[in-house]
Amino acid sequence: MNISIIGSGYVGLVSGACFSELGNNVICVDNDTKKIANLKKGIIPIYEPGLEEMITLNMKKKRLIFTSDIKNAVASSEIIFIAVGTPPLDNGEADLTGIETVARNIAVNMKDYRLIVEKSTVPVETGQWVKHTIETYIKSKIKFDVASNPEFLREGQAINDFLHPDRIVIGVESKKAEALLISLYKPLNAPLVVTDIKSAELIKHASNSFLAAKISFINAVSRVCDKVGADVTEVARGMGLDKRIGASFLNAGIGYGGSCFPKDLDAFITISEKLGYDFELLKSVRRVNQKQKIAFQEKIKDSLWIIKDKTIGVLGISFKPDTDDIRNAPSMDIINALQKEGAILKVYDPQSMQKAKGQLGKIKFCKDPYEVCKGSDCLVILTEWDEFKGLDFLKVKKLLKRPLVIDGRNIYDPAVMKGLGFNYISVGRK
Ligand code: NAD
């Protein structure tokens, strides 16, 4: 099929690469001309395992091209996906400016039937606004359909998630749109949920909010564990084996972050409020998440007493492993708070230091975890990269000023760490 993806960020690039890998002709569009110029040269703006190779291969096979020319993309593609960002406004609402701009651009350039698909995460009823916008700006009486096809990929495992999804959600209002999307996704052989557009939009917001709620739930349990000396990982294991609950998203830590959960939760709360429903449950999820970061900072303070002039070694910035994404990463708030209190920070992350450099104040970025440890008063773990799991702890102990490890991701075994002579503090564990 001939398809276009408007917006070449995490979702647009992964979707574009994967659709081309499946044999479709894909045009990836972005209004960031520098990004497009780099992509044309094979420079990928994000770190996502396997993405560079897949893009290079499909560019060579001439199934994947990059452009800023939306007109040509609309002319050549029967299916047009919108994958632009929907960042939060100050009031928590999703900023849909990008969606509206793209809808207008598609409308004025459409000469034949087109299926316009929302892939960006958008509040319920956005589909009808996209439809209304296209109807308003379209030049002649051309038939078109709007559909919702929310994306569930996880950064760090995005290609695998795209090619092997748990389900594909398709929100449509015509048989033609349904048939086109079913045919496009047929090679994936995944369970399909075909529904109306509003339900599809809600599936995305409800899913992300539910996952965020699971994280906040276990983080709240971790606080009780801390108080009574119980072990939250054991509690989570005992809960997770219950098939009705499931084991995933029950890792206590420093809270969720990233470009999706915080923003999607805010947007769901705000749209619900606008529609006349006070989503109290989600407000609590958000509050628990905020407090979890503060509780972790307290653990650092309780261990060091005075933060000012202490050297704190930090491992991990990205909001989760295997990505360079630092948007809304809890680490950023924690690092900033420690800096405000006068700490000297030494930081290492395998992928996200370049992005963090522009956003963090005076910080020493290190070449590896051992440089972080050298002369630090403690070692703080903020992201659970595999690289940090296999550290040489005899070396770490020698390099640190004192053997103090404060682990916000529970990646080490407390008994082993204590056996090695560390004062080891983690989340919700003895
Ligand atoms: P992103 O910021 O990485 O990429 C968005 C891209 O859209 C940017 O390259 C930007 O330049 C481009 N863009 C913005 N306005 C444009 C316009 N008018 N014309 C052309 N290009 C334009 O964002 P992302 O992480 O890819 O997310 C995109 C959407 O997908 C969001 O709604 C997000 O919530 C959703 N989503 C993201 C993820 C994820 O893990 N990142 C997962 C599922 C869904």
Query: Can you give the pTM of this predicted structure?
Result: 0.94
5 lines ligand 1 (CB under 6 A): no
Catalytic machinery residues: 260
- Scored b (16 or more CB within 10 A) or e, 172-206 reads bbeeebbebbeebbeeeeeebeebebbebbbbbbe
From the CA of 154, give the closest atom in ligand 1: 40
Which residue is associated with the tokens 């905020």?
A: 290
Q: Mean pLDDT by 10-residue block, N- to C-terminus, for the chain (430 residues)?
A: 97 98 98 97 93 97 98 97 96 96 97 97 97 95 96 95 98 98 98 98 98 98 97 98 97 96 96 97 98 97 96 97 94 96 97 92 94 98 97 97 98 97 96
Distance from the alpha carbon of residue 7 to the mean position of ligand 1, in angstroms: 6
Residue 300 has a pLDDT of: 97
C-alpha–C-alpha distance, residues 106 and 195, integer Å: 24
- Cα of 117 vs centre of ligand 1, distance in Å, is 14
Backbone angles phi, psi at 347, to 5 degrees: -130, 145
Which residue's alpha carbon is at the smallest distance from atom 3 of ligand 1? 9
Q: Residue whose CA is closest, atom 30 of ligand 1? A: 120
User: Which of these, 363, 330, 328, 333, lies nearest to 348 by C-alpha position?
Assistant: 363
Q: Is the CB of 260 inside a 6 Å radius of any atom of ligand 1? A: yes
Are 88 and 94 a contacting pair, CB within 8 Å?
yes
**Residue 207 and residue 221: Cα distance in Å, rounded?**
21
As a whole number of Å, the end-to-end CA separation of the chain is 56
Ligand 1 atom closest to the CA of 155, numbered from 1: 40
Q: b/e map of 249-267 (b: 16 or more CB within 10 Å)?
A: bbbbbbbbbbbbbbbbbbb
Q: At what angle do helices 261-274 and 280-304 cross, to 10 degrees?
A: 140
Task: Collect all residues with Cβ–Cβ distance below 8 Å to 147 and sequence separation of at least 6.
Answer: 115, 116, 117, 118, 127, 170, 171, 172, 173, 177, 181, 197, 200
Torsion angles phi and psi, residue 209, rounded to 5? -65, -35
- The 8-class DSSP code of residue 306 comes to -
**Token pair in block for residue 392:** 């040489």
Q: How many residues does the chain have?
A: 430
Residue 38 corresponds to which tokens in the numbers above?
């780099």
Tokens of 222: 């971790």
C-alpha distances out from residue 161 to 92, 158, 168, 190, Å? 28, 5, 11, 11
List, in order of start, the domains of the chain with CATH numbers.
2-195 (3.40.50.720), 210-425 (3.40.50.720)
Structure confidence at residue 350 (pLDDT): 97
Closest ligand 1 atom, residue 11 Cα: 26
- Per DSSP (E only), the strands in 216-334 are 311-315
Q: Which of 75, 69, 87 is nearest to 28 (CA)?
A: 69
Q: Which amino acid, residue 201?
A: E
The reply to whether ligand 1 has any atom less than 6 angstroms from the CB of 6 is: yes
Rounded-to-integer distance, Cα 237 and Cα 247, Å: 7
Calculate Rg over the CA atoms of the chain: 23
Residues 83 and 118: beta-carbon distance below 8 Å: no
pLDDT of residue 430: 82
For residue 84, the CA-to-ligand 1 centroid distance in Å is 4
Torsion sign over Cα 262, 158, 182, 137: positive
Instruction: Kindly give the distance from the C-alpha atom of residue 232 to the centroid of ligand 1, in angstroms, as a whole number.
Output: 35
